[in-house]
Structure 1
Amino acid sequence: MSGPIQQDWEPVIIRKKAPTAAAKRDEKAVNEARRAGGPIETIKKYNAGANKASTSTPGLNTRKLDEETDVLAHEKVSSDLKKAIIQARVEKKLTQSQLAQLINEKPHIVQEYESGKAIPNQQIISKLERVLGTKLRGKK
């Protein structure tokens, strides 16, 4: 190196992106109309820029739901499955909380399965089969 190190201390100015040509034209047209004294119309755009799907008939889906007559319900644990779980747990001399701990689930889950209120989950049933050492699904 032949000489002293010099630093560039000029300030760097970062500005927002300049308005596009279309925005300038619109602004220019509005200003010209104001100067001329002519009427200026503004239009309100509804749902402009919104991420909503617009429908021609907004009440259509509501009416379909009101007219729906099917009774929909989640599948619950069968009585055969809940009896098999209880029987296998009692044979192993485990409490519901001990069984839940062995399958890494909350005690509430085991309680729901044994009362028949749970929605069947194949992963949980397979954990129960493994820990209890019995087949709970399919033909016996």
Structure 2
Amino acid sequence: MAGIGPLTQDWEPVVIRKKAPTAAAKKDEKVVNAARRAGAEIESIKKSNAGTNRAASSSTSLNTRKLDEDTENLARKKYDRVPTELKKAIMQARMDKKLTQAQLAQMINEKPQIIQEYESGKAIPNQQIIGKLERALGAKLRGKK
């Protein structure tokens, strides 16, 4: 080991610097200033969103506003709720089978809250769920009896 010399690195340090403004940008600025000194009338246009993502976010805010308005309108609209006959039919068939709302919900693979909403009349009727309820309860819940 005595014959090996000191370890050295052959690496050169790399320094990364931000580029200076281009000559064209400086030249444009000089030309404009010279024209101003000469008394020429200069019309300049300010780019309000240059170099930013603000244009994209402003269109997003428009979409967000529309979505908020639609959501408010949905809350105001009166949608078809579970009819009284269906509410009573579900409740009666469940009671006849001696099932709780949670047990019925488990039978049809839905949350107990769904059954509660149907029986209270707050749910918007879904034909698939009504079909599951009919099969689980063995009773006809929709259509003419």
Q: TM-score range by the shorter chain?
A: 0.5 to 0.7
Deviation at 1:72, TM superposition (A): 2.1
Structure-to-structure mapping, 1:20-99, within 5 angstroms: 28=24, 30-36=25-31, 37-38=33-34, 41=44, 43-45=46-48, 49-50=55-56, 52=59, 72-99=77-104
Say whether 1:114 aligns with 2:119.
yes
The aligned residue for residue 21 of structure 1 is none
Cα deviations by residue, 1:12-40 (Å, 9 ceiling, x for unpaired)? xxxxxxxxxxxx8xx82x32222333358
Aligned partner of residue 133 in structure 2, secondary structure: helix
Distance in 2 (alpha carbons) for counterparts of 1:35 and 1:115: 77
Cα deviations by residue, 1:79-123 (Å, 9 ceiling, x for unpaired)? 000111011111111111110110111111111111111111111
Question: Identity over aligned residues, as a percent?
Answer: 54
Deviation at 1:42, TM superposition (A): 5.1
Paired residue type of 1:50: A
The aligned residue for residue 132 of structure 1 is 137
2:128 to 113, 116, 123: 123
Moved over 6 A (4+): none
Gaps spanning 5+ residues in structure 2: where? 1-21, 37-41
What TM-score results when the alignment is normalised by the length of structure 1?
A: 0.59
Distance in 1 (alpha carbons) for counterparts of 2:109 and 2:54: 49
The aligned residue for residue 13 of structure 1 is none
Please give the root-mean-square deviation of Cα atoms over the aligned residues, in Å.
Answer: 3.2
What TM-score results when the alignment is normalised by the length of structure 2?
A: 0.57
Gaps spanning 5+ residues in structure 1: where? 1-23, 56-60
Q: Which has the larger radius of gyration?
A: 2
Higher helix content, 1 or 2:
2
Q: How many residues align?
A: 101
Distance in 1 (alpha carbons) for counterparts of 2:30 and 2:133: 81
